[in-house]
A and B are shown apart, each in its own frame.
Chain A
Amino acid sequence: MDTFTSVLKPVTKEASDILSSFYIVLGVAAFIFVIVAGLVVYATIRFRRREGREPKQFSENVWLEVLWISIPLLIVTGLFVVAVRIMYLVNPPVLGNKPDLTVVGHQWWWELHYPQSGVTAANEIHLPVGKHLLLRFESADVIHGFWVPSFGQKIDVIPGHPNYMWMTITRPGLYLGTCNSFCGMAHADMRILVFVQSPEDFSAWLAHQRQPASPPSAVGATKGAEVFREKNCVNCHSIAGFMTRGRVAPDLTHVGSRTTLAAGTLPNTPENLAKWLKNPQSVKKGVLMPDVGLNTDQIKYLTAYLEGLK
């Protein structure tokens, strides 16, 4: 699967529109820069001091002033028209449309709701290719920022002020993004993964995510489920089909099927999960998950249980 990270490689219709306006502005800016820098460089060479010549003392020319007032005025008027046009293309009014996905920013992870199918997930977004999607953004605490560079537009995720963003993704692939509005200690480790799939694959993924967690089968995993309950993990985390009390930390119903842990901080392997459970702060400084004092056996069982939640 191709991975995308750059503004200059747009993969949504909207991002391509925005990039086209960027290239227009870049062209205009380069043109103006060449003129200004050219004049300055020419003047510094041509009018270097030579002995015994006092320059002519001229200091006014109204027509020149009119020239360099009116031309920039025309240029910015043109750029303004470009801006308005692209704004409407990219972000038509939301009106009564229902969002396909609601993203809730938390310190320092992303909660995901697919309202039309009732699926809840975390950090790893799955979206279908080719559909005009509407995303809604909310925050549970401070201001975050949702930015997947290949999608062009970013949006602030503000508590008490839901925001919306339209997107039509044109290519399947894995898109990396990040929180881009400083949100506290672990801001740098609040990353986003977006898996863009064909509509069929996406429906299959949704159907799978809708299932409750499979009960633990292996011996270690059963003990792990006990640890999960006894060590108060349940107060923050939910596992559909097991215990769904926790609301403040990522839903773990299908945590084993995710590719990363701790909002994209490290790859999801049993070793990494064990390291994370042993001392969350050493993996992601600032994270709100407490160190609940698990011993080596408990970590082993819990790892087995959670990795089994495919």
Chain B
Amino acid sequence: MNSEINTSKKPESILEVREYKSLLSWLSSVDHKQLGIMYIATSLMFFLAGVSMAMIMRTQLIKPNHHWLSPETYNQIFTMHGTTMVFLAVMPMLTGFMVYFTPLMIGARDVSFPRMNALSYWLYLMGGLLIYFSFFTGDTLHMGWSAYAPLTSVNYSMNKYMIGTGVDYWIVGLLLTGAGTIMTAINIVVTVADLRAPDMKLTQIPLFVWMSSINALLMLLALPALNAALVMLFLDRQLNALFFNPAAGGTPLLWEHAFWFFGHPEVYILILPGFGIVSEVIPVFSRKPIFGYAFMAVATVAIAFLSFGVWSHHMFATGMNFTIYYVFALSSMLIAVPTGIKIFNWIATMWGGSISFDTAMLFSVAFIIQFTIGGLSGVAFATVPIDWTLTHSYFVVAHFHYTLLGGTIFTVMAGFYYWYPKITGRMLSEKLGKIQFWLMVFGFNGTFFILHFAGLAGMPRRVFTYPDLPHLATINLISSLFAYVLGLGILVFFANLVVSLFKGKPAEDNPWGGWTLEWATSSPPPPHNFDRIPPVRSIRPLWDLEQSKKQPGVAAPPSHRGDSA
């Protein structure tokens, strides 16, 4: 460090960074770190809204023939819960991590297009608010997040007095966030291609960055399909274009195809960065390099490739041609293979290691087991006749919550505990973290494992209440009670985030002994990211540095100036 130039004290927490102190510095920011934080903070607000709606739903379902909520209210809440969680909470949360850490992990000063990065964020925020604005129009959405035509057409979205406009706000809001997502995708791909530290080869990119770039490619190819479908729906509603109106030669199945052509890659968009986080956390806390790096990277590419050829497995009950079913059943089953590669490589990374069970690692380990359950029920759905029996039932609800909540959200939690010190300069409380972890593990599995049986017992999804048929009352009561435990766990998480920001233990630059470049700068990183970038000789540059220090005879390879990119 050059102490003559850098006379001011190094800021201990993000609250003390001079450049980030004014509100204007946030509103006008093009710094990927500030934007990443804004993405994450905004998505956490939407996440809280989505969790609240989930709690309301589980309360409504706590007993049969419950008339606490009207069907109207319940239908809107489950539609908004799905829309919020997929588009406004989980995807932007992952995007936030991608935007914050991609440049840091490859030793770059910022993303390639910082201003476009800011535009993406603001489009996301405005789109999200627009979707929520539909609450104030008096007619929000009651169609499910997949918005099947023709329920979304003008004829079927009327309230008592007039044509509802909620669907229009939903369309425009999603178009805006979709445009933002596409721009972020371009930004990430170009950044990784262009701004890597001078000596970082493609085979030395951290797996989080690998998976984020593949994820960005998925976004780039999938979101336009959704946007096209949304425009068609908008034309249908505003100009009577009849794409989805069967009475005029259109077909509602067209919407399903267009939506799921986006929707299934979307499922992987929602998990790949999570895979990336876990692929960073597990090696560091096991003190071993990731096992099968090349296979992990190739498996990600394989998942991305296959994910564009599986969408019709959402439509096995629509009465299509058997030949179509064969193709999609086979591709859907094949995607289990690269996913299995990842699972086994994570286990092999832990094997023979020296595992430290900090909260980040606990969430990663629980993720492996829970995601396996979600993946296996996914294979059941790829088996067409089983899908014929169980699709649209609570079995599906259990299945995708195992992948998205037990999967993605658990990886995100691992990410928070792993990277919060880097972002804020403060450690998250490990004590609260462990309380949160156990509350979430019990709460999550208690809520959702039993819902598999609700599906088998004949409970369809998206119903505001259900008759008192055998088993349903018991199953739903247990599920709802555990949901409150899960909710409590999430509250502990939010409390930890806030309390630790002010009272947390100050974080060292590299509190976990990580090996990737983000740990080579201070916590929080200075606005310009790096003073010096260590040389990159493998996927673990800081490990190499450590080793060369242990052998005094060998001179360390030269580092680079931080702004050399």
Contact = CB atoms under 8 A, between A and B. Distances in A.
Contacts of B322: 87, 91
B333 interface: yes
Given A8-B456, A60-B292, A142-B151, A184 B379 contact: no
Contacts of B293: 59-60
B354 A55 contact: yes
Given A25-B383, A69-B341, A54 B354 contact: yes
A87 B75 CA distance: 34
A82 B383 contact: yes
Contacts of A17: 385
B337 interface: yes
Query: Which of A59, A87, A145, A186 counts the most B-chain CB atoms under 10 A from its CB?
Result: A59
B537 interface: no
Contacts of B340: 68-69, 72
Contacts of B382: 79, 83
Interface in B456-488: 456-458, 460-467, 469-471
Contacts, number: 269
Interface stretch (A118-126, A147-155, A229-237, A268-276): A147-155
B393 interface: yes
B52 to A, nearest CB: 21
B307 to A, nearest CB: 16
A83 B387 CA distance: 10
B376 interface: yes
A33 B348 contact: no
Given A29-B377, A49-B355, A55-B353, A286 B318 contact: no
B319 A79 contact: no
A87 B382 CA distance: 12
Contacts of B292: 59-61, 64-65
B368 interface: yes
A33 B371 CA distance: 10
Range for the number of chain B residues in contact with chain A: 35 or more
Contacts of A191: 467
A106 B101 CA distance: 51
Interface residues of A, number: 87
A163 B320 CA distance: 9
B460 A160 contact: no
B352 A55 contact: yes
Interface stretch (A38-46, A96-104, A203-211, A249-257): A38-46
B512 to A, nearest CB: 12
A32 B372 contact: yes
B457 A185 contact: no
11 contacts: A29-B379, A49-B354, A54-B287, A72-B336, A76-B333, A149-B389, A156-B318, A180-B392, A188-B464, A189-B71, A285-B70
Given A58-B291, A60-B292, A181-B148, 20 more contacts: A6-B470, A15-B389, A19-B389, A22-B389, A47-B354, A49-B355, A59-B290, A60-B293, A80-B329, A86-B385, A142-B150, A153-B388, A153-B389, A154-B389, A161-B252, A161-B253, A180-B461, A182-B75, A185-B75, A285-B72
When A and B form their complex, which 10 residue pairs have the shortest distance between CB atoms, in order from nearest? A160-B246, A163-B319, A188-B463, A149-B458, A180-B460, A76-B333, A29-B376, A180-B392, A59-B289, A182-B462
Interface of A: 5-8, 15, 17-19, 21-22, 25-26, 28-29, 32-33, 36-37, 39-40, 43-44, 47-50, 53-61, 64-65, 68-69, 72-73, 76, 79-80, 82-84, 86-87, 90-91, 107, 141-143, 145, 147, 149, 152-156, 158-164, 176-189, 191, 285-286
